[in-house]
Structure 1
Amino acid sequence: MSEILQELLRVSEKAANIARACRQQEALFQLLIEEKKEGERNKKFTVDFKTLADVLVQEVIKQNMENKFPGLEKNIFGEESNEFTNDLGEKITVRLCSTKEETAELLGKVLNGNQLASEALAKVVHQDVVFSDPTLDSTEISIPQDTLGIWVDPIDSTYQYIKGSTDIQPNQGIFPSGLQCVTILIGVYDKQTGVPLMGVINQPFVSQDPNTLRWKGRCYWGLSYMGTNIHSLQPGISKGNSRGTQEDSSSSEVGTSRPFSAIISTSEKESIKAALARVCGNSIFRAAGAGYKSLCVVQGLVDVYIFSEDTTFKWDSCAAHAILRAMGGGMVDLKECLERNPETGLDLPQLLYHMENEGATGVDRWANRGGLIAYRCRKRLEAFLSLLIPNLEPLRTQT
């Protein structure tokens, strides 16, 4: 239902406000500064503050959604546990209380009595946020609430968030690191099929006012359900036309006349990088954050985001996958793509979000085990794979 997506946009903006406040309010920023001192952290800050920021964002999203859509909260899943143990050995469950004062008191227990920080954090947590989108306001889609599951990554690219670099220059619009790589990811999927239905990517740090040093962000969203495909990058949707086309991002991209481009992790395997160099030439970009790299595909800055390791998780990929589906693209299992035979007509192995990995424990239960490729246009992906796979073959025989 579009009401759920509208509320997710609102709570993502509230989450972005929390992320910005932790960098811009002095009492909170001092706690972030402590995180930077590896091996020198002040003993009085025994709580990992970046994790508290993560957890608080996650709980704000959960509890705001529960207030608006009772029963939905039990189907919201994320990376973080909401339990902390303070200096006195007390186990504290972080939650959003009914008043700002009660939330400040609870946070004070977690932060070992740091009143200034607790009150500053509680204030931004309880601020009302108004966020609307004309396209969604004019769209009515009914999706049964009890079929929905939600994956949340409250602050993706936490290392860049804590490091806080603001002077990184982009390469053809792509930031290799810095606060611009931080994202808040909320993905909605069908609990029966695992197919992603709705996604929100909130980028809290897009541009900084040189005078006030205040940051502004941007929010991206997409919805793909029962033939209806709409997204925030789709221009000129009128009230009478809420149905985007599945190939709306691909009409000018199908051929191979222009070079392919890819974005990868700095830790990508040498074999993948070597094959990509043959396919993409110099159009290979490196960047931090799975959410940000996926966003670069959403924005059309690159053709694909490719990652061969098993260290991304469902909360990293679900939001962008839903947006890409609405644009006519998707996110597929890399290992299965490399093993499939295109001549047999097998469909692309889309990532799914409802089932744990067999035999796995801990967070690995939700890992994208075969790696991934995110793409905007299926035909362009097929052309890319037809070049990538032959270039990987010689490398495989050498290992």
Structure 2
Amino acid sequence: MADVLRLLLQVAEKAANVARVCRQEVPLFQLLVQEKTGHDKNKEFVQDFKTLADVVIQEMICHDVGAQFPEMTGFIHGEESNKFENGLGESVTVTVCATEVETAALLATVLDGDKMAASLLARAIHQDPATSHTLPEDLDVPLSPSEISIWIDPIDATSQYIDGREEVLEEGHLSPSGLHCALVLIGVYLRNTGEPVMGVINQPFNYKDPATGCWRGKHFWGVSRGNVKACSVSRPEGRPGGSRKGAESLSVVLSPSEKQVVKEALAPLCGGLDKLMYASGAGHKILCVIQGSADAYVLSERSTFKWDSCAPHALLRALGGGVVDLRECLRQSSAGEVVEAEITYHQPRTESKGADIWANQGGLVAYLNPASLHIVIGGLKGKL
């Protein structure tokens, strides 16, 4: 399983390279975007875009993982369909071919014959990153590749990726929007139980070199299986359930579109409405919790999906936290039961259609300390 983690770190970095290449060609990038329609559209947002970068990243990860671990072929799932419509109205199935030349030729059909752009993308897809990833020497996870499946979100916070606003990240501070919110998410879960056991997060646009104008990325990983807990992120210090800065109030991050009733219920826990924090991207908001910029991320809507939460969920579990179904927690609390409703990743909701079969239907709470979860549930009890 350490070999699986090394491979996922490598393919996530390749994915980050693809994301950066697509943004470097601005006129081309504007041609890559097409709006999702029908059952694939995320109904909670006015616009939800699929980019060619999304598709090629997902297919590249499927190709590379399946090539090294054939027993995982057919158990690697992603957000995107690999069907893409070019400017001529032709539907093209995007795949990664055996050679860079063949992949470039296929991509050229998507890009209306733009061979130069297709070659740039194909090079990024087939080129292994030079960076190496150091893992603990004693990392030993008692699992076989035949026991696991993968969820991929090739570019989480697509709207921020498309918009492309460049914000300066400050260590320890939550930054609400910008290019850095776009993340590559690869989550691993058990096929039989849906338990998240491994996660890789790559932030392609973490730092822009002022000398070269080139972006550098940052990666995060975590493993949680039984007694094996390992993470590239250190657990933030501070009192359990509260702010790491010693304040008496909780720090909670929300989506800007969160319901007013939720904001008003959480405000007293956080020191007032003006103390609530807002940020873009589901994966980014959970990463804020992982890094200690917030105690919890609360979402009352069903606007996130398994591919959004699987990877960061595994990191939180490695640090002693988790991601739970909000409405199920509220039901259990109201019934006087022990609050325990961890989200799982293996079973679709067959009564739904399209992407909704994989939605986190009950909303969610991502937390680092169990005390934070109980405070949040207590504040929302009877309000939803």
Same structural fold, with TM-score higher than 0.5 when normalized by the shorter chain: yes
2:32 and 2:103 mapped to 1: Cα distance? 23
CA spacing shift, 1:146–1:178, aligned 2, 3 Å:
same
Structure 1 partner of 2:258: 268
Shift of 1:259: 1.4
Residue 377 of structure 1 aligns with which residue? 369
Match of 2:299 in 1: 307
Q: What is the alpha-carbon distance in structure 2 between the residues aligned to residue 57 and residue 102 of structure 1?
A: 16
In the TM superposition, 1:196-275 aligns within 5 A as 196-234=196-234, 252-254=239-241, 258-275=248-265
Mapped to 2, the partners of 1:53 and 1:358 lie a distance apart of: 29
Question: Structure 1: how far apart are the matches of 2:224 and 2:98?
Answer: 34
Q: CA RMSD in A?
A: 2.5
Secondary structure of 1:341's match?
A: helix
Q: Residue 133 of structure 1 aligns to a residue in which SS?
A: coil
Q: Report SS of the residue matched to 2:342.
A: coil
Q: Which amino acid aligns with 1:389?
A: L
Q: Give the letter for the 2:265 counterpart.
A: A
Instruction: Tell me the equivalent position of 2:122.
Output: 122
C-alpha contact (below 8 Å) 1:31/1:49 kept by paired residues: no
List alignment gaps of at least 5 residues for structure 2: 36-47
Match of 2:133 in 1: 133
Corresponding position of 1:195: 195
Instruction: Verify: 1:389 aligned to 2:380, yes or no.
Output: yes
* Equivalences, count: 367
Residue of structure 1 equivalent to 2:269: 279
SS across alignment from 2:17? helix
CA distance in structure 2 between the aligned counterparts of 1:79 and 1:377, rounded to whole angstroms: 29
Of residues 312, 316, 331 in structure 2, which corresponds to 1:324? 316
Residues in 2 aligned to 1:49 and 1:340: alpha-carbon distance in whole angstroms: 36
Corresponding residue number in structure 1 for 2:154: 154
How far apart in 1 are the matches of 2:103 and 2:310?
30
Equivalent residues of 1:203, 1:219 under 8 A apart? yes
Structure 2 contact 298–364 (Cα < 8 Å) conserved = yes
Is the aligned partner of 1:92 residue 2:92? yes
Distance in 2 between the 1:254 and 1:33 partners?
44
Q: Percent identity at matched positions? A: 44
Query: Match of 1:114, as an amino acid?
Result: D
Q: Is the 8 A contact 1:85 1:110 kept in 2?
A: yes
Taking the TM superposition and a 5 Å limit, the aligned residue runs for 1:159-170 are 159-167=159-167
Structure 1 position 215, deviation (Å): 0.8
Q: Does the Cα contact within 8 Å between 1:263 and 1:305 map onto a contact in 2? A: yes
Equivalence for 2:26: 29
Query: For 2:230, what is the secondary structure of its paired residue?
Result: strand
Aligned to 1:80: 80
Deviation at 1:16, TM superposition (A): 0.4
The CA deviation at 1:23 is: 1.6
- SS class of match (2:123): helix
Mapped contact 2:222–2:231 kept (Cα < 8 A)? yes
Does the C-alpha gap of structure 1 residues 56 and 383 become closer, same or farther in structure 2, counting only changes over 3 Å?
same
The reply to whether residue 291 of structure 1 matches residue 278 of structure 2 is no
How high is the TM-score relative to the length of structure 2?
A: 0.89
Deviation at 1:91, TM superposition (A): 3.7
Q: CA shift at 1:183, angstroms?
A: 0.5
In the alignment, structure 1 segments of 5+ residues that lack a partner are: 39-47, 235-247
Structure 1 position 373, deviation (Å) = 0.4
| 3-state SS, counterpart of residue 77 of structure 2 | strand
